[in-house]
Chain A
């Protein structure tokens, strides 16, 4: 079977001279789906672009070649290369919202590409293209602007554009990152249909090995610009040969794990009764009640828009509830953190999702961590300094980082600093709002491990917010499933994840991609 896309010795250099893609050779056959897996910084997006012979401004292809359906894509002048792009090989971007021209109607966006590459498509062709990705194939829809579509619809439009000229191969760059699990599942269905109905070859780039596992035939693992392992997808995942692949596979949380059942029921540290909250006039949380027991971890799981972050913010005192009460160790909490007692603010701390945003970029790490200790525990400067050293050690960060600014730290390091900062107040309850969602998988595993250790050492109770069922499975004792602001199901993790009672929970579990058992 001859390859429909073929890259040989491809090397792409960044402006500084470093190689983002280093001597990469891959091949994809007709109707085949090749997964390309790598974490941030691995060069996978640069490679994805290079497969169309395209580099970002400043980057250059310095060696190697790319061929698709017999046409060369490298070493051509721009005009020639352009004639192949979108026609022989096309691209589906990661963020559809920013990839669609905001001032063009959706039908025109698709039509531009159709007309450019051999026309004859006309209005009919555009509508057909929309219909093929299961979007309404009518003129009214084609007249919409991108901002009038949902995220899933926007992505389907970019896929329709990529398909309108019947390419031989489509390169998809993280097409479902940022979409909720259910929409992601439907997009993946589309991709599978592409292959089975139209025989299109697909290169599916992702950081999420589980997603790739569910859809690809073969997978290539990328690390620091090189392909470190390649082969049949089940083989690579169940019996990884390269050290990096092994690490990657090991850090992926498995969906259903055996958890030791807790024997004694403890007292509740946090008690939420009939909580209601709204954004302006729109209700987002409705009649939610739950308890977090001392020393336990309760996870609240749901899609984006389910209200889970709003609940976390209400508990932390950043959002005023419209109804209900929140009790910490039996005492009712004021809606705003400012009005709570110092003791209460000490007991309850929050860690946020985005590590790149939650530290003041103009303050050194030591001052950032020391602040809660000085403000809430009244420590002197000298005592706080000692505390900072202690905390850095506890979160397994080298003490030399204390003098740095957040900009000099990686995402994982910053998140650890955020945890240290929360611990500096000496809390009993830690609210974790999607704290690993913005991290690479391997870093995520390390942070979760840290969290487990801290729980054991300090007897912390956790309120853990997440959309990722697999992550929840590894850390939580109990789970609350949230949909559109309402509780759909609750129970121990083992019970909810292995035998869900509620319809919605079942759908979530089915939609979540998982790895083949080792």
Chain B
């Protein structure tokens, strides 16, 4: 065959040593981006809450308030200054950790620092969220892989149909159904999850069961479907077929070749569901009367406590954005291709 003349080795392009952005630099960029987003979000929240023709002062004092009382309240709440000045003032104090005073407090005739109000509810919410996340991730991985490896068979149909149904349901529906089953019919669990002030929810774990189950239901269904979809795509890939053609054992193929490449999109799905969880927690806490930050928010909106709404919203938004960043970084850690500079 011709080719003796092809002794040249020089003209074939050998891929140059890859250029990898350091992980730390990537992390820093994401965090800075997140802070910028948080700033923009804060402006959004400020604008969104202060668009009302009337104002917070009259919402607090009610319709029977005298003009002088209104003017006094406005001055107390700082509402007589121009919007832009108020915004930066608020921003500045948030950065220092002072979230301002709640209107509810003013209505009661006292200055109540919002931060004091929300500190323990925030902690309660974190506990609930952490439990749900800790359960959701391994369970959805397990269910998703089980469904995908048994595609078309009974276990797949059961898991797929089940998650399709549950993922459609609003949290309060899932929660209400669980209450009917476990309280009205079985009388096993309490219908409300009250936590006496000063105590931790962990001291009476049975109150956490229904809220956890409700939130798990909502998020698990979605994640499982996505893990399943990702696994199916991964198992249909050429490299999985190649691994089988090379005689690798099926378990290694599923885990090291299949799941490993389905993990990156799965992480994104988990992040989406965790973010969704943040929204769902608001409804669940209201449903079960669980003293978390979600319930605080609903209460604040109900009485139009603008300052409280703004501050709680910023805290929640910060957590939301942080989850996004962490998920992004985990994906980059998992997918080597994203780390190299573009060829």
Which residues of chain A have a CB within 8 Å of any CB of chain B? 49, 52, 54, 56, 78, 82-87, 90-91, 93, 95, 98-104, 112-113, 116-117, 144-145, 147-150, 152-153, 158, 161-162, 182-183, 185-186, 188-189, 192, 214-215, 507, 510-511, 513
Contacts and interface: CB of A to CB of B under 8 A. Distances in A.
A185 B11 CA distance: 13
A197 to B, nearest CB: 15
A106 to B, nearest CB: 11
12 contacts: A86-B247, A90-B245, A99-B239, A99-B241, A100-B239, A116-B249, A150-B15, A185-B3, A186-B6, A186-B12, A507-B6, A510-B2
A82 B249 contact: yes
Given A93-B238, A145-B336, A150-B13, A113 B2 contact: no
Nearest to A186: B6
B336 A112 contact: no
Contacts of B260: 101, 103-104
Given A102-B336, A112-B256, A148 B18 contact: yes
Contacts of A101: 239, 243, 256-257, 260-261
B247 A116 contact: yes
Given A117-B247, A189-B6, A511-B3, A182 B336 contact: no
B167 to A, nearest CB: 27
Contacts of A144: 18
Contacts of A510: 2-3, 5-6
A147 B340 contact: yes
A104 B260 CA distance: 9
A185 B6 contact: yes
A145 B11 CA distance: 23
A110 to B, nearest CB: 10
Given A103-B336, A116-B248, A98 B15 contact: no
Interface residues of B, number: 35
Interface of B: 1-3, 5-6, 8, 11-15, 18, 237-239, 241-250, 252, 256-257, 260-261, 334-337, 340
A11 B337 CA distance: 41
B245 A49 contact: yes
Contacts of A162: 246
Contact of A104 (B15, B245, B256): B256
Contacts of A214: 1-2
Nearest to B16: A148
B244 A188 contact: no
A366 B261 CA distance: 44
Contacts of A78: 250
Nearest to B242: A99
Nearest to A100: B239
A189 B237 CA distance: 29
Nearest to B263: A103
A49 to B, nearest CB: 7
Closest 9 CB pairs of A and B: A85-B247, A86-B246, A86-B247, A98-B238, A99-B242, A82-B247, A148-B18, A145-B336, A91-B245
- Among the interface residues B13, B239, B257, B340, which one has the most CB atoms of the partner chain A within 10 A? B239
A182 B244 CA distance: 31
A104 B238 CA distance: 14
B311 to A, nearest CB: 42
Nearest to B261: A103
A52 B3 contact: no
B72 to A, nearest CB: 63
Given A85-B244, A93-B245, A98-B239, 13 more contacts: A82-B249, A83-B247, A85-B245, A87-B247, A90-B245, A93-B242, A102-B239, A104-B256, A116-B247, A145-B336, A147-B340, A185-B3, A513-B2
